[in-house]
């Protein structure tokens, strides 16, 4: 089969394309013929990181058609259109069905072969049927970015109608999803972004106010828009670059929910003022299978809408990786098989 894979650590040039052995489904597994796979910042960590296995086929967002069924699988058959939850748990039950809490938690494309290939083997237990109304490109945007945003807002921050939510980096995968979801929750949605063009796009997605952080001070704007109170919830995946701003924008009793450190993992925090204001920092990784099913249903009916920035063939995977870190990207970069 055709695939992209990594044998070394490096830049986009480390990604090789060509023929790889076809996967064989084990007991309880199916082989999915991949139709589309979107990229995430995780793909950059995997490409650059020494702690991930090699050789490895990256790609965490599996959307495709069941091609082959392994022993013991009765819930799916060849020809079924599916989307996969992006991780597996082996030999144990995840607490509350939340896979990241299990010690054997493993993500496709990071700890085992993923979806940047014509075919990928996955446990049948992680599959969800793709609604006919859901396009392959949209389906491929959901398992990492949209699931993560959903879990951040509803499971971790527990956003309530009437609250104010600040979304950092409106043009990212998580950011543009969180804008739509916070609006769906009945919140007042503020968003930051790095260009005037992205301000307009954030507003089109449902943000009540978008802040061009190069031209404006987000802290002053958020405080002004909230009557000095601040945001009840801040969604941030950047880490160090936006950390101080995120903390400064928090209302008393506010929740800062973090799902990544794309721009720095080490931050400073004045614990004195933080605890005195009864504020919280909440870590969040992915979500549950049931949450992904909800996100899929809401996308299929048009309530949520992924923004696809660019679509590439698998042979242009290096170019797709370069696009992922482009300053003018807005939304998801997708590989179509």
Q: What is the CATH number of the domain that holds 197?
A: 3.40.50.720
Joined together, the tokens standing for residue 283 give 């870590």
Residue tagged 């614990």 (tokens): 271
Domain with 78, as residue range(s), is 2-141+306-336
Say which residues have a Cβ less than 8 Å from residue 326's Cβ, sequence separation at least 6: none
CA 120/CA 62 separation, integer angstroms? 8
- SS3 category, 87: strand
Q: In angstroms, how far is CA 110 from the centroid of its own chain?
A: 14
Helix 41-48 vs helix 317-324: crossing angle, to nearest 10: 110
Query: pLDDT tens digit string along 143-174?
Result: 999 999 999 999 999 999 999 999 999 999 99
Does the residue 288 lie in any domain? no
Query: pLDDT tens digit string along 198-218?
Result: 999 999 999 999 999 999 999
Average pLDDT of span 87-115: 94
CA 188/CA 160 separation, integer angstroms? 10
- Note the pLDDT of residue 51: 84
Which of 289, 187, 170, 297 shows the shortest CA–CA distance to 237? 170
pTM comes to 0.96
251 and 311 together in one domain: no
Query: pLDDT tens digit string along 235-288?
Result: 999 888 988 999 999 999 999 999 988 877 788 888 888 899 999 999 999 999
For the chain, give the percent of residues with pLDDT over 90.
91
CATH number of 76's domain: 3.90.180.10
Burial class, 278, CB count within 10 angstroms (exposed 0-12 / middle 13-18 / buried 19+): exposed
228 and 266 together in one domain: yes
Does the residue 296 lie in any domain? no
Tell me the sheet residues that pair with 236.
258
Average pLDDT of span 73-94: 96
Residue 11 confidence (pLDDT) above 80: yes
- SS3 category, 30: strand
Residue 10 confidence (pLDDT) above 80: yes
Query: pLDDT tens digit string along 291-336?
Result: 999 999 999 999 999 999 999 999 999 999 999 999 999 999 999 9
- Note the pLDDT of residue 38: 99
- Note the pLDDT of residue 270: 85
128 and 70 together in one domain: yes
Please, how many CA atoms are within 13 Å of residue 52, restricted to the half-sphere of its CB?
A: 27
Joined together, the tokens standing for residue 307 give 């923004």
- Note the pLDDT of residue 264: 77
Residue tagged 């879990």 (tokens): 151
H helices present in 153-264, as ranges: 173-184, 196-205, 218-225, 240-249
Average pLDDT of span 16-43: 98
Residue 17 confidence (pLDDT) above 80: yes
Cα four-point dihedral sign 289, 137, 305, 254: positive
Average pLDDT of span 136-140: 99
274 and 314 together in one domain: no
- The phi and psi torsions of 298 (rounded to 5 degrees) equal -70, -30
Does the residue 62 lie in any domain? yes
Please, how many CA atoms are within 13 Å of residue 316, restricted to the half-sphere of its CB?
A: 14
Say which residues have a Cβ less than 8 Å from residue 292's Cβ, sequence separation at least 6: 83, 85, 128, 142, 143, 147
- The phi and psi torsions of 64 (rounded to 5 degrees) equal -175, -160
Burial class, 266, CB count within 10 angstroms (exposed 0-12 / middle 13-18 / buried 19+): exposed
- Note the pLDDT of residue 46: 96
Domain count within the chain? 2
Say which residues have a Cβ less than 8 Å from residue 95's Cβ, sequence separation at least 6: 101, 102
Joined together, the tokens standing for residue 198 give 């992205």
Cα four-point dihedral sign 93, 97, 102, 106: positive
Helix 196-205 vs helix 173-184: crossing angle, to nearest 10: 40
**pLDDT higher for 210 or 52?**
210
Q: Are 13 and 318 in contact (CB under 8 A)?
A: yes
115 and 184 together in one domain: no
- SS3 category, 153: helix
Query: pLDDT tens digit string along 177-197?
Result: 999 999 999 999 999 999 999
Does the residue 263 lie in any domain? yes
127 and 159 together in one domain: no
CA 39/CA 322 separation, integer angstroms? 11
* Whether the bond into 55 is cis, omega within 30 of 0: yes
Average pLDDT of span 18-42: 98
| Average pLDDT of the chain, as a whole number | 96
Tell me the sheet residues that pair with 192.
211
Does the residue 312 lie in any domain? yes
């Amino acid at each position: 089969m055709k695939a992209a894979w990594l044998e070394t650590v490096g830049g986009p040039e480390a990604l090789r394309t060509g023929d790889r052995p076809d996967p064989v489904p084990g007991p309880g597994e199916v082989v999915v013929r991949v139709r589309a796979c979107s990229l995430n910042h995780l793909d950059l960590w995997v490409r650059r990181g020494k702690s991930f296995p090699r050789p490895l086929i990256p790609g965490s967002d599996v959307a495709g058609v069941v091609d082959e069924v392994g022993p013991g699988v009765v819930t799916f058959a060849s020809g079924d259109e599916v989307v996969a939850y992006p991780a597996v748990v082996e030999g144990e039950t995840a607490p509350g069905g939340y896979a990241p809490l299990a010690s054997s938690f493993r993500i496709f494309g990071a700890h085992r072969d993923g979806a940047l290939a014509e075919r990928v083997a996955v446990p049948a237990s992680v599959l969800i049927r793709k609604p006919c109304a859901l396009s392959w490109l949209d389906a491929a945007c959901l398992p990492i970015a949209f699931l993560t945003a959903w879990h951040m807002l509803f499971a971790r921050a527990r956003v309530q109608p009437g609250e104010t939510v600040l979304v950092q980096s409106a043009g990212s995968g998580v950011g543009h999803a969180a804008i739509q979801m916070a609006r769906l929750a009945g919140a007042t949605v503020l968003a930051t972004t790095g260009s005037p063009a992205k301000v307009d796009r954030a507003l089109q997605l449902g943000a009540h106010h978008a802040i061009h952080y190069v031209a404006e001070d987000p802290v002053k704007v958020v405080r002004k828009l909230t009557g000095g109170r601040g945001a009840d919830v801040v969604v941030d995946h950047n880490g160090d670059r936006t950390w101080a701003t995120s903390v400064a924008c928090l209302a008393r009793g506010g929740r800062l929910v973090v799902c990544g450190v794309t721009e720095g993992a080490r931050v400073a925090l004045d614990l004195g003022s933080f605890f005195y204001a009864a504020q919280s920092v909440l870590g969040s990784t992915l979500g549950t299978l049931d949450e992904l099913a909800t996100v899929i249903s809401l996308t299929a009916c048009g309530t949520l809408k992924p923004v696809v920035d660019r679509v590439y063939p698998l042979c242009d995977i290096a170019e797709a990786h370069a696009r992922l870190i482009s300053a003018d990207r807005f939304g998801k970069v997708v590989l179509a098989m």
